[in-house]
Amino acid sequence: MSSDFVVQLGHCQLQLLKGDITSIAVDAIVNAANSQLMGGGGVDGAIHRAGGPEIMRELDEIRGRIGRCEPGNAVVTGAGRLPARYVLHAVGPRYRDGEHGERELLASCYSSCLTMAADLDVKTISFPSISTGIYGYPIEEAGEIAVRTVTTWLSEHTDSIRTVKLVQFSESDHEVYRRHAQRLRGGLASAAPR
C-alpha cells in the first residue's frame, strides 16, 4: 500500500493512506483502544484479531498493574503477528458536545503515542482515526486535530520518528484527512523562506 499524499517536514514525513492498518509494515501501530483495554470492535477488534492472543495476554498483565487507561493516554504491548514491533493502545475521548475537553484529550492521544514511540526508538508509526467510530468524534474535527498534532510534534522533534502514517479505512474519512493535510501543506509552503 503506497501513500497517496505526503507532507515533508525536514527529515520527517507525514503520509496519508487508505486501507487496512493491520497490513502496513511499521515499527509501531497505534490502536484506538477502550479504557478497559479489553479489545472491542472497529480497528481495536481488527488489531487484536490480526495480532493474535499475545497482545491480550500483555494487556491482561497491564490491567493487573494499572487497572484502566484514562482517555488521552496510551500503553504499549508487543505486536504479536502484526508486521510491527509494538502496538500503542491509545484511549481516545468519547465525544459529548466538544465542551468537555475532548479536543485536548484527542490531541493528547496523538502526542502521547509519538512521545512513547520516540522513547522506544520507533522510526515509523501508523495511526488509525482515533475516537471517530463508536466514540462518536466528528471526523472533520478529528482529522484536523490528528494532522495538526502530528505535524506540530514532528516539527518540534526532528531527530526521532521519520515517518508517520495516518491510515483511514474509508474513502470518505481519507478525503477529510487529505483536505486537512493539503491546507497544512499550503500553509507550510507560504511560510517557507523565499
Q: Which residues are catalytic?
A: 44
CB 63 within 8 A of CB 4: no
**Cell (9 digits) for 105:** 484529550
Q: Across the strands, what pairs with 167?
A: 17
Angle, CA 27 vertex, CA 73 and CA 155 arms, to 5°: 65
C-beta of residue 110 within 8 angstroms of C-beta of residue 100? no
Partners of 38 in the β-ladder:
none
Range 8-47 burial, b when 16+ CB lie within 10 A, else e: ebeebbbbbbbeebbebebbbbbbbbbeebebbebbbebb
User: Phi-psi bin for 161: left (phi > 0), alpha (psi -120 to 50), beta?
Assistant: beta
Amino acid occupying residue 65:
R
- Give the residue among 161, 167, 165, 124 at the shortest CA–CA distance from 10: 161
